[in-house]
Structure 1
Amino acid sequence: MFRREKQNERDKTGIRKCEKKKGILNTFLNFDKMITPAIIKIIFWIGLVICVVFSLSLILAGLTAYGGGVQVFIGILTLIFSPIIVRVQCELLIIVFKIHESLVELKNK
C-alpha cells in the first residue's frame, strides 16, 4: 500500500513523480499532458483582435461616402457580440479539457 501511495504522489506542477522519470518527451509523445488549454487562451486573444479589427473596419467603411447607416449598425453589433461568441467557443473547448483532466484524476485514484 505504501508503494502505491508513493507512485501517486504529485509535485507542485501536478505531474506524478513517476511520470518525471519517464521524461518530458515521452509524456509529450504519449499525450499524457494536454497543451491545448494554453493554446486556446492564445487563440482567444487572436480571435478578439480579429473581431475588433473587423468591426472597426465595418464601422469606418459605413462612414465613407459609399457606406451607409446599416453597415455602421452591423459593425457596432459585431463589435458587441463577436467577442462574446469567441469567448463562449473557447470556454466550451476548455470545458472538454477540464473534463479530461477530471477523468484522468479519477483514473489515477
Structure 2
Amino acid sequence: MNFDFQDFLSFNKMITPTIIKIIFYIGVGISVLMGLFQIIAGVASNFGGGLQVIMGLITLVVGPLFVRIYCELLILFFKMHESLNRINKNLEAAEYEE
C-alpha cells in the first residue's frame, strides 16, 4: 500500500484507524490496571472488601471486552468510508470508459 501525500492532505487517506488500535491497547491496559487496583483495595479493606474484589474481577473481564467493541465500532465507520471511496472511484472510472 503506497502512501500518497495528496490523499493525506485531502483527507482521503485516514490515519485514525491506526490510532484507534493504539487506543485499544491503552484502554485494555487501563482496564486491567483498574481491575487489579480494585482487587488489591478490596483485599486490603477491612469492611466490605468482597464486593470490591468481585467488581475488580468483573472489570478485568468486561473492561477489555467493552474497549474492543467500542474500537471495532469506530473502525467500522472508517471501513465503510474506504469502501464508499472505492465504489466512487470505480463508478468514476466506469463513466470515463463510456
Q: 1:85 maps to which residue?
A: 66
How many residue pairs get aligned? The number is 89
Which 5+ residue runs of structure 1 have no aligned equivalent?
A: 1-12
Aligned ranges 1:3-82 → 2 under 5 Å: 13=1, 20=4, 24=5, 26-66=6-46, 68-82=49-63
Q: Gaps (5+ residues) in structure 2?
A: 91-98
CA displacement 1:21-70 (0-9 Å, x = unmatched): xxx1x332210100000000000000000000000000000000335100
Bigger relative CO (Cα 8 Å, ≥ 6 apart): 2
RMSD over equivalenced CA pairs, Å: 1.4
More helix by share: 2
Q: Distance in 2 between matches of 1:64 and 1:71?
A: 10
Query: What TM-score does the superposition give when structure 1 sets the normalisation length?
Result: 0.76
TM-score normalised by length of structure 2: 0.85
